[in-house]
């Protein structure tokens, strides 16, 4: 199955069912680690919105949440220039924070976020990402929770976009080159 997004054709890569299995597994891991605590979850907009919503629904522990928007992509590539859309919206001083993102590739954005949230007073910062591209990862911090390792292919669907298009698909599609 293929879809057209702007000037690119994408083929089915990961089904909605496979995604939901990973979301459930990540939720279970977070619940084990935070069974007696109330973590503060930060959804990185816009790409993580679908994952964040499904993760919240799967979690059976209390948590606080907020949304935060940064970006580093233009077209199919990272600009490596992280842009903050607005100041961080909530007080996290002394809180254990879990950054919820859609995809970690180089790690530049996540490194920025970890540093920024620690400066804002987070006592601990963990990372939950649905997808991880180990072949592009350039950093040395741990990815605490992730759904699946994927190759270095550009993907859309389930919140991920190509120039703001293609987010609405429940499955993940990879670009045909």
Query: What pLDDT is stored for residue 85 in this prediction?
Result: 65
Kindly report, residue by residue over 99-122, the tens digit of the pLDDT: 999 999 989 889 999 999 999 999
Rounded distance between C-alpha atoms, residue 18 and residue 24, angstroms: 10
Over residues 12-35, mean pLDDT = 98
Contact (CB, 8 A) for 107 and 135: no
pLDDT band at 74 (very low <50, low <70, confident <90, very high): low
Q: How far apart are the first and last CA of the chain?
A: 15
Catalytic positions, written as ranges: 105
Rounded distance between C-alpha atoms, residue 35 and residue 30, angstroms: 8
**Domains within the chain, CATH numbers bracketed:** 16-153 (3.40.50.2020)
Strand partners, 149: 132
Rounded distance between C-alpha atoms, residue 92 and residue 43, angstroms: 14
Query: What pLDDT is stored for residue 72 in this prediction?
Result: 63
Using DSSP, state whether 111 is helix, strand or coil: helix
Query: Across 12-26, 71-85, 100-114, which has the greatest mean pLDDT?
Result: 12-26
Is the pTM above the cut of 0.85? yes
Kindly report, residue by residue over 119-147, the tens digit of the pLDDT: 999 999 999 999 999 998 989 999 999 99
């Amino acid at each position: 199955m293929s879809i057209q997004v702007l000037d690119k054709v994408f083929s089915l890569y990961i089904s909605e069912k496979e995604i939901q299995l990973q979301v459930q597994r990540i939720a279970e891991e977070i619940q084990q680690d935070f069974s007696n605590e109330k973590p503060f979850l930060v959804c990185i907009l816009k790409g993580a919105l679908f994952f964040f919503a499904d993760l919240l629904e799967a979690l059976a522990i209390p948590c606080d949440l907020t949304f935060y928007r940064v970006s580093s992509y233009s077209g199919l590539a990272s600009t490596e220039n992280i842009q903050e859309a607005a100041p961080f919206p909530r007080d996290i001083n002394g809180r254990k924070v879990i950054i919820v993102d859609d995809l970690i590739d180089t790690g530049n954005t996540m490194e920025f976020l970890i540093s920024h949230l620690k400066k804002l007073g987070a006592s601990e910062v963990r990372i939950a990402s649905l997808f991880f591209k180990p072949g592009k990862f350039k950093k040395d911090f741990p990815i605490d929770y992730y759904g699946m390792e994927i190759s270095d292919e550009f993907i859309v669907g389930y919140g991920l976009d190509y120039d703001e298009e293609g987010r609405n698909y429940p499955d993940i599609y990879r670009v045909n080159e």
